[in-house]
Structure 1
């Protein structure tokens, strides 16, 4: 049984084809720079035990042509013989608002509801919708499933997701905390439960998805009860280019004193802040190199980044009462041993005792034997989670 996963951006289509019998991706690819010069198709797959990587330059004028290129390749490589070989197509959709808390089979009514969420995610949902519409035209006979980044966090109680603003803002404009990275948080929570050999609904976890975008979730009895990102992905942790938490009055101050427009402030907080804003570099590997060479701004950026995470570990421990495990994931969370150590240092009062040697060795469990809280490093696989949810939705 085969499931195709699509993640459509404004000028790109990321995809992965899964054999659900083995749970492995047969091919992973990217159509990039759609409707731009230099458009290309990048993909990788395994053949005869050898990893094959290819880049093909070709003119792709729209998402439908991009999708056609994907299906042509899948056929040429004999991964599928016909579109009907697909059990379903799973689409990543960033924002589902309060309407969608489960993977959902897409029809015209559902698509119309997803379009209503565009004001909540103006940079992401339109691109996701473009991919859905192209797939519905090209693969009409294949069930299409929307899997929402916000869905996992829809179990948050109202006192966690509401902001202390006029009720009408929430009731009429949907101003509340939604959270993101839900697909990743859910996936690694299930993997942690499997590793600990305990049912997920018996576990309290703090999951840390740390990449260029970063968020944490407090998970009680397997359900999200709080998360760091808010109505948008800007709130919460310090990130690669996003500021994370800040005093909202700063926006008014900048407007009054410097004459910044709303768009200028929006761009600055989303694309020029975070690590990049402090030290000029948003790639964590580059920040480490700068810090190792004595760059004080890079050292400050690292200290700020880890401090913010540690504060949320403390806050979420208080909210949960009992924590069974911290779970690090994402590109930074999975590979940055220094950061994990900094985030977990001096937390013995919370029952967290990290083993420095295990951490440096990149082991899955990096806590000391006597640690009351497990500290785990688990690779995320959002594409597989989307495939699994899509398959269950269609069955």
Structure 2
């Protein structure tokens, strides 16, 4: 079975074709700068090593972007399939499923309308996701397609974790609540970690730590998410590359009164000008480490703030779970940044987390433990694979 995974952003489109018998990618690519004067498509043929191909030309919309992707997927020299008829299913990443979707959904008219109805909850993401679905339905008319939601994994949270302390009518009328995101990543690493621990998933307590330009943490009890750091939107929780994470909500009023800023300007500030970038002017942790090494005090502060907030959430979720079998780091920073992993776990020895500085050193391209043998709570690095998780979820939905 061959499944094409599509992830549509506002100005980009990522895709990956997977051979589900091997659970391995056959090809992948990204289309960037959609709608700008010159767009870029980078395609990788992964069947025998890696061959990369790049084209630069105008890509006015997602329709053209997806057609370009299909051209490369079916290219006579570097295409993984001879034609679209060889693709058995298409899986779509959709950011916000609201309370409508508690599992992946085979796409039909009712599903697309439900995704459209959830646009107010994710106005920056769901329209692009929906565009990708509509174009794919046209290009693959005979191919079953599945929507897999970032929020779905977190739908097992109890009301005490997802209801905000706002007038209850706002939840009843507008569904204002905590939803959480990065669900496909948290599910994948939780399931993988349980296997590595040699325990059934339903008998594990895990803290999954997804750290990238966007970051979130989840408390996973028996394979079910019971709490997560992101909220109504991906702005809440941890400090991130350009997002502030948790702040006093009165900041909005304070900035409006004292800086004369509009709601849109404040929203732009908190989402795109804050986080690591807001503190030190850089949102790439590699640049921050280089600046730290040269004595940049603001870079050092940004690093310490980031790791400190990760540590606080780990401690909180140990309390939520009543202890944990493992803390699992994943995603770009979680997998590659030993400084962040060490700083986030430092000082948690009394809570049962004892990291091994030697084992923790360096980037991790494969799953591995980074705790000391005597550590009651294990610490693992598990590379995430959201595309494979979407493909697996799509196959399960179709079966």
Distance in 2 between residues matched to 1:35 and 1:236, nearest whole Å: 32
| Pairing 1:17–2:21 present | no
Distance in 1 between residues matched to 2:19 and 2:305, nearest whole Å: 42
Distance in 1 between residues matched to 2:353 and 2:39, nearest whole Å: 48
| Pairing 1:62–2:61 present | yes
SS at the partner of 1:22? coil
1:312: which partner in 2?
A: 313
Distance in 1 between residues matched to 2:34 and 2:303, nearest whole Å: 36
Give yes or no for contact 2:45–2:80 (8 Å, CA) kept in 1. no
Give yes or no for contact 1:64–1:138 (8 Å, CA) kept in 2. no
1:224: which partner in 2?
A: 225
1:388: which partner in 2?
A: 392
Map Cα deviations across residues 58-98 of structure 1 (whole Å, 9 max, x no partner).
Answer: 33332222222222222113422232211110000000001
1:197-212 to 2 correspondences below 5 Å: 197-212=198-213
Distance in 1 between residues matched to 2:32 and 2:194, nearest whole Å: 36
2:140: which partner in 1?
A: 139
1:72: which partner in 2?
A: 71
SS at the partner of 1:92? strand
Give yes or no for contact 1:39–1:57 (8 Å, CA) kept in 2. yes
Map Cα deviations across residues 37-66 of structure 1 (whole Å, 9 max, x no partner).
Answer: 11121011235x442111112333322222
SS at the partner of 2:16? strand
SS at the partner of 1:240? coil
1:101: which partner in 2?
A: 102
Distance in 2 between residues matched to 1:8 and 1:214, nearest whole Å: 19
Unaligned runs of 5+ residues in structure 1 are none
1:172 deviates by 0.4
| Pairing 1:36–2:31 present | no
1:122-271 to 2 correspondences below 5 Å: 122-271=123-272
Give yes or no for contact 2:43–2:72 (8 Å, CA) kept in 1. no
Structure 1 window deviating more from structure 2 (274-283 vs 359-368): it is 359-368
Map Cα deviations across residues 7-48 of structure 1 (whole Å, 9 max, x no partner).
Answer: 01122211000000111111110122223211121011235x
RMSD between aligned alpha carbons? 1.1
Distance in 1 between residues matched to 2:145 and 2:58, nearest whole Å: 26
Structure 1 window deviating more from structure 2 (174-183 vs 81-90): it is 81-90
Distance in 2 between residues matched to 1:154 and 1:50, nearest whole Å: 39
Distance in 1 between residues matched to 2:8 and 2:49, nearest whole Å: 28
Structure 1 window deviating more from structure 2 (63-72 vs 186-195): it is 63-72
1:360: which partner in 2?
A: 361
SS at the partner of 1:132? helix
1:374: which partner in 2?
A: 378
1:362 deviates by 4.8
TM-score (norm 2): 0.97
Distance in 2 between residues matched to 1:281 and 1:78, nearest whole Å: 38
SS at the partner of 2:220? strand
Runs of 4+ in structure 1 off by over 6 angstroms are: none
Unaligned runs of 5+ residues in structure 2 are none
TM-score (norm 1): 0.98
| Pairing 1:322–2:323 present | yes
1:361 deviates by 4.8
1:5: which partner in 2?
A: 5
Distance in 1 between residues matched to 2:49 and 2:238, nearest whole Å: 39
Say how many residue pairs are matched: 394
Distance in 1 between residues matched to 2:156 and 2:97, nearest whole Å: 13
1:282-321 to 2 correspondences below 5 Å: 282-321=283-322
SS at the partner of 1:54? strand
Map Cα deviations across residues 222-275 of structure 1 (whole Å, 9 max, x no partner).
Answer: 110000000000100000000000101111011111111001100000000000
